[in-house]
Amino acid sequence: MERPRVGVAVLTMGNRPAELRALLNSVAKQDEKAARIVVVGNGTPLPDLPDEVSGVELPENLGESGGRNVALERHAVYYRMTARNRVWLARRHLPAPLMPVYLGTWTLLTLARTRSVGGLRAWAAGFVEGVREPCGPRRPMRWATVWRMTHLGRPPII
């Protein structure tokens, strides 16, 4: 049986450097090597990091979930699963005429936001997987719900 691969995302505000070093040392001593380690400086510059650790410095503190999302974006699995899940969401819950609009919008946003060719390849693989694989029962929202969401400023195409 293949061993699981684990990625590690660490957030820091820069106010506990000793704890950050201890955490990274602990991760390095685990029985299973981490596939990838990303440290996110959430509105703070990062200290020197070991070679096997990737660092991302954010200009402002995005909060806990925002910082973790930045760390996850660096993984190919994130791109693949996000694309697959968006296709499945459209197939299961959107009225048929809105599916191409929703998927087209997210395709354009992904092309504009994704900075790596590897990320785009993983995203495309996830998109194809979402189209080909079963996604569960189809229960599209009613047009009244579409109108209500749009009226409240949250059209179901973005």
Q: What is the pLDDT of residue 67?
A: 83
Q: What is the pLDDT of residue 33?
A: 85
The whole-number pLDDT of residue 40 equals 92
Beta bridge partners of 11: 40
Q: Determine what percent of the chain is predicted with pLDDT higher than 70.
A: 98
Q: What is the structure's pLDDT at 113?
A: 83
Name residues whose C-beta falls within 8 Å of residue 34's C-beta, 6 or more positions apart in sequence: 6, 7, 8, 27
Q: What SS3 state is found at 40?
A: strand
Low-confidence ranges of the chain (pLDDT < 50): none
Side-chain half-sphere of 156: how many Cα atoms within 13 Å? 23
pLDDT of residue 26: 94
What is the pTM for the complete model shown? Answer: 0.62
